[in-house]
Amino acid sequence: MDLQTFKNYNTARADLDDLVAMAAFGRTLRAEYEAHQIEEPEFVGAKLKSLRAEIADRNADKIAARKSEIKARLDALKSPKEKAAELRKELEALTAVGA
């Protein structure tokens, strides 16, 4: 990893592991500036903020996808009676709203 790569890094084209690695490099870079009591360049903070936001967004998407997968698998395990009961309950709720 080098400084030029960090400066020009495009978060949209990276996978989650690359984003985490680049954020780790940025934190190390920040710590080194602090250790030498040198003012951190503006691009370091901006890039770290961008990386953290992208990591959080992608992680949230990954969690949402997993939740959806689990719900689908649980629905597939339901018996026909359970599915019918849920549909009846939903129909009653919709009928009550529209009545």
Give the model confidence (pLDDT) of 35-81 as tens digits.
Answer: 999 999 999 999 999 999 999 999 999 999 999 999 999 999 999 99
Report the pLDDT value the prediction gives residue 13, as an integer from 0 to 100: 86
Q: For the chain, which residues make up each domain, given as ranges?
A: 3-98
Encoded tokens for 81:
């009676």
- pTM of the predicted model, to two decimals? 0.74
pLDDT confidence of 34, banded at 50, 70, 90?
A: very high
| Top mean-pLDDT range of 11-20, 46-55, 90-99 | 46-55
Report the pLDDT value the prediction gives residue 99, as an integer from 0 to 100: 61
Report the pLDDT value the prediction gives residue 50, as an integer from 0 to 100: 95
Amino acid making up residue 16: L
Question: DSSP labels for 34-91?
Answer: HHTT-PPPHHHHHHHHHHHHHHHHHHHHHHHHHHHHHHHHHHHHS-HHHHHHHHHHHH
